[in-house]
């Protein structure tokens, strides 16, 4: 059974040891999980000499901006390096000085390396530059004090940050192993039905994976994607918002392609082609495109086209049905969540479900506990969701971009009319109550509800 233990302890590494630093932990068997604490206690736990909790460290750095600033965190970590011993006997003090303090110092250096190398997202301004120079001075002093390879590495990382260089090691896709593009005969006169469905899916995936790869960790914090910025200020979540726009454009394009055909047989061919594109996207683990295409197919102007759906081939219906099952809302979208849980990178998830989860965590959990402690459990849940998103970006796609096809797709997506404005066109093509003729079919029933509807509050843009 899980047990919760409140720990109140004096920080042996703080200059001010007059007040206890409280840390509240919960045990799952033998595994300790921090639930709440004062800022000083959380920093102490981050740099403990007797234990390394990688999960705690990742959560702390992914979410520290909720409860402290970069400048304050830097100051606390430097203070931790310069720690003074607690009240001990002379023998205990000697032991602490020779054994405990060196470990604390090394942990501080490694923690700073982790922050700068993997989680640094401080704004590029005068304050950050000043903090980096403080850190540079500290790294030089630490090198003189303990002279380990870690301090030399820290100094190198700080200098790279000061020079404006990225410290991340990024994976690069191997174009040599990419499948050969399936190109139409004429790249200068492209038509949707004449472009291979597999290649359309590949190019959509290349484009969306590039956008997904640009999303920064901080964009998921504080529901930044929902906030409207004042004139002249930078967007807080530009890449998430770009992906939302792209998803909406893809859904609009699906509807526009179908409604552009006045002949019912042509409309069924377009639907069949779109189904093949969506199915290939699923095979490529581009679940975002799958959701967007299905959202277009099940939008009100499209799903009402009874005569068109009655003529969609049995093969297309059999392909479409599993895609619909994948995005079913039953049991809190269990089928999709289970699929995503075992998916490996490269993968493009549908961000809407993640944004919904993050919104619920933000709104449903207070920042502070009733005792006035930082509610670290809330930030653990936020970080867990963000880490899952980051995991899916760890490897790039091995697909060859085709500029001509991408230019065609971008032009088509950006020019597509909003689905909400397509109802009249749909009614012109098939009047209400029109008879299905001699081909009633019950192979596939579009629901019109669709997976994407659940995130309307999260995905809606105000511009």
Cα-Cα end-to-end distance for the chain: 50
Please report, rounded to a whole number, the percentage of residues in the chain having pLDDT higher than 90.
71
Q: Which residue has the higher pLDDT, 360 or 445?
A: 360
Q: Are residues 98 and 214 in the same domain?
A: no
Q: What is the 3-state secondary structure (H, E, C) of the chain?
A: CCEEEEEEECCCCCCCCCCCEEEEEEEECCEEEEEEECHHHHHHHHCCCCCCCHHHHHHHHHHHHHCCCHHHHHHHHHHHHCCCCCCCCHHHHHHHHHHHHHHHHHHHHHHHHHHHHHHCCCCCCHHHHHHHHHHHHHHHHHHHHHCCHHHHHHHHHHHHHHCCCCCCCCCCCCHHHCCCCCCCCCCCCCCHHHCCHHHHHHHHHHHHHHHHHCCCHHHHHHHHHHCCCCCCCCCCCHHHHHHHHHHHHHHHHHHHHHHCCCCHHHHHHHHHHHHHHHHHHHHCCEHHHHHHHHHHHCCHHHHCCHHHHHCCCHHHHHHHHHHHHHCCCHHHHHHHHHHHHHCCCCCECCHHHHHHHHHHHHHHCCCECCCCCECHHHHHHHHHHHHHHHHCCCCCCCCCCCHHHHHHHHHHHHHCCCHHHCHHHHHHHCCCCCCCCCCCCCCCCCCCCCHHHHHHHHHCCCC
Read off the pLDDT of each residue in 130-153 and give the average, rounded to a whole number: 94
Read off the pLDDT of each residue in 157-183 and give the average, rounded to a whole number: 80
458 has a pLDDT exceeding 70:
no
**Nearest Cα to Cα of residue 130 among 184, 76, 175, 71:** 71
Please report, rounded to a whole number, the percentage of residues in the chain having pLDDT higher than 70.
86
Q: What is the mean pLDDT of the chain?
A: 87
- Can you give the pLDDT at residue 461? 54
User: Quick one: pLDDT band at residue 457, thresholds 50, 70, 90?
Assistant: very low
Q: Are residues 295 and 400 in the same domain?
A: yes
Q: Are residues 335 and 449 in the same domain?
A: yes
Number of domains, the chain: 2
Q: Are residues 331 and 227 in the same domain?
A: yes
pTM: 0.87
- Can you give the pLDDT at residue 14? 38
User: Quick one: pLDDT band at residue 166, thresholds 50, 70, 90?
Assistant: confident
Query: CA 459, 221, 376, 2: dihedral to nearest 10 degrees?
Result: 40
323 found inside a domain: yes
179 found inside a domain: no
Q: Are residues 217 and 140 in the same domain?
A: no
CATH number (domain holding residue 57): 1.20.870.10
What own/partner pairs with CB < 8 Å and gap ≥ 24 does 165-169 have? 167/116, 167/117, 167/120, 168/117, 168/118
252 found inside a domain: yes
Among candidate residues 145, 163, 181, the one where a domain is terminated? 163
170 found inside a domain: no
Q: Are residues 93 and 201 in the same domain?
A: no
- Can you give the pLDDT at residue 15? 36
2 found inside a domain: no
Alpha-carbon span 271 to 207, nearest angstrom: 22
Q: Show the domain range for 300.
A: 192-346+395-433+443-458
233 found inside a domain: yes
Q: Which residue has the higher pLDDT, 168 or 186?
A: 186
2-38: pLDDT as tens digits: 444 444 443 444 333 324 479 999 887 778 899 999 9
Q: Are residues 197 and 330 in the same domain?
A: yes
Alpha-carbon span 61 to 243, nearest angstrom: 25
290 found inside a domain: yes
Residues 6 or more apart whose Cβ sits within 8 Å of residue 398: 173, 174, 175, 177, 178
Interhelix angle 101-114/70-81, rounded to 10 degrees, is: 150
**Nearest Cα to Cα of residue 182 among 194, 199, 205, 197:** 199
Q: Are residues 102 and 250 in the same domain?
A: no
Q: Which residue has the tokens 């139409």?
A: 184
Alpha-carbon span 185 to 181, nearest angstrom: 12
Read off the pLDDT of each residue in 156-176 and give the average, rounded to a whole number: 77
Q: Are residues 63 and 127 in the same domain?
A: yes
Q: Which residue has the higher pLDDT, 366 or 172?
A: 366
70-120: pLDDT as tens digits: 999 999 999 999 988 877 788 888 888 889 999 999 999 999 999 999 999
- Can you give the pLDDT at residue 93? 82
User: Quick one: pLDDT band at residue 170, thresholds 50, 70, 90?
Assistant: low
User: Quick one: pLDDT band at residue 443, thresholds 50, 70, 90?
Assistant: very low
Among candidate residues 163, 182, 210, the one where a domain is terminated? 163
CATH number (domain holding residue 311): 1.10.840.10
177 found inside a domain: no
Which tokens go with 337? Answer: 């969540």
Q: Are residues 412 and 318 in the same domain?
A: yes
The strands making up 31-37's β-sheet, listed across from edge to edge, are 3-9, 21-28, 31-37
- Can you give the pLDDT at residue 438? 42
Q: Are residues 258 and 400 in the same domain?
A: yes
217-258: pLDDT as tens digits: 999 999 999 887 777 777 889 999 999 999 999 999 999 999
What are the CA-CA distances from residue 306 to residues 414, 427, 434 (Å)?
28, 11, 8
Read off the pLDDT of each residue in 299-317 and give the average, rounded to a whole number: 94
375-413: pLDDT as tens digits: 999 999 999 999 999 999 999 999 999 999 999 999 999
- β-sheet bridge partners, residue 9: 21
How deeply is 166 buried, as exposed, middle or buried, from its count of CB atoms within 10 A (0-12, 13-18, 19+)? exposed
Which tokens go with 331? Answer: 């049991």
Q: Are residues 124 and 270 in the same domain?
A: no
């Amino acid at each position: 059974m899980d047990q919760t233990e409140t720990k109140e302890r004096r920080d042996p590494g703080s200059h001010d040891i007059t007040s206890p630093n409280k840390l509240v932990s919960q045990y799952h068997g033998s595994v300790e999980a921090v639930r709440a604490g004062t800022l000083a206690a959380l920093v102490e736990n981050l740099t403990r000499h007797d234990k390394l909790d990688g999960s705690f460290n990742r959560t702390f750095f992914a979410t520290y901006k909720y409860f402290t600033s970069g400048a304050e965190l830097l100051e606390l970590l430097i203070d931790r390096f310069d720690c003074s011993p607690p009240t001990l006997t002379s023998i205990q003090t000697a032991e602490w000085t020779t054994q405990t303090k060196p470990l604390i110092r090394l942990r501080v250096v490694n923690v700073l390396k982790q922050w700068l190398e993997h989680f640094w997202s401080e704004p590029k301004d005068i304050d950050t530059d000043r903090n980096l120079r403080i850190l540079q001075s500290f790294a030089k002093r630490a090198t003189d004090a303990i002279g380990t390879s870690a301090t030399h590495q820290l100094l190198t990382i700080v200098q790279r940050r000061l020079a404006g260089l990225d410290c991340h090691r990024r994976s690069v896709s191997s174009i040599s192993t990419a499948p050969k593009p399936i190109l139409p005969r004429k790249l200068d006169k492209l038509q949707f039905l004449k472009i291979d469905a597999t290649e359309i899916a590949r190019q959509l995936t290349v484009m969306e994976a590039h956008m997904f790869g640009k999303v920064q960790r901080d964009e998921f914090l504080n529901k930044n994607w929902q906030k409207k910025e004042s004139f002249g200020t930078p967007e807080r979540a530009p890449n998430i918002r770009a992906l939302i726009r792209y998803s909406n454009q893809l859904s609009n394009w699906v509807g526009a392609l179908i409604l552009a055909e006045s002949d019912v047989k042509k409309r069924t061919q377009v639907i069949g082609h779109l189904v093949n594109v969506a199915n290939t996207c699923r095979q490529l683990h581009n679940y975002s495109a799958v959701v967007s295409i299905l959202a277009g197919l099940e939008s009100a102007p499209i799903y009402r086209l009874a005569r068109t759906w009655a003529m969609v081939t049995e093969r297309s219906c059999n392909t479409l049905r599993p895609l619909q099952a994948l995005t079913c809302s039953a049991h809190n979208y269990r089928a999709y969540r289970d699929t995503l849980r075992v998916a490996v990178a490269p993968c493009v998830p549908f961000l809407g479900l993640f944004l919904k989860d993050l919104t619920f965590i933000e709104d449903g959990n207070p920042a502070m506990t009733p005792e006035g402690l930082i509610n670290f459990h809330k930030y653990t849940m936020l970080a867990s969701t963000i880490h899952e998103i980051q995991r899916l970006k760890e490897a790039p796609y091995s697909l060859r971009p085709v500029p001509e096809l991408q230019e065609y797709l971008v032009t088509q997506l950006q020019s597509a009319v909003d689905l909400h404005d397509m109802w009249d066109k749909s009614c012109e093509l098939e009047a209400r109550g029109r008879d299905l003729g001699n081909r009633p079919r019950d192979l596939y029933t579009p629901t019109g509800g669709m997976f994407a509807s659940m995130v309307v509050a999260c995905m809606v843009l105000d511009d």
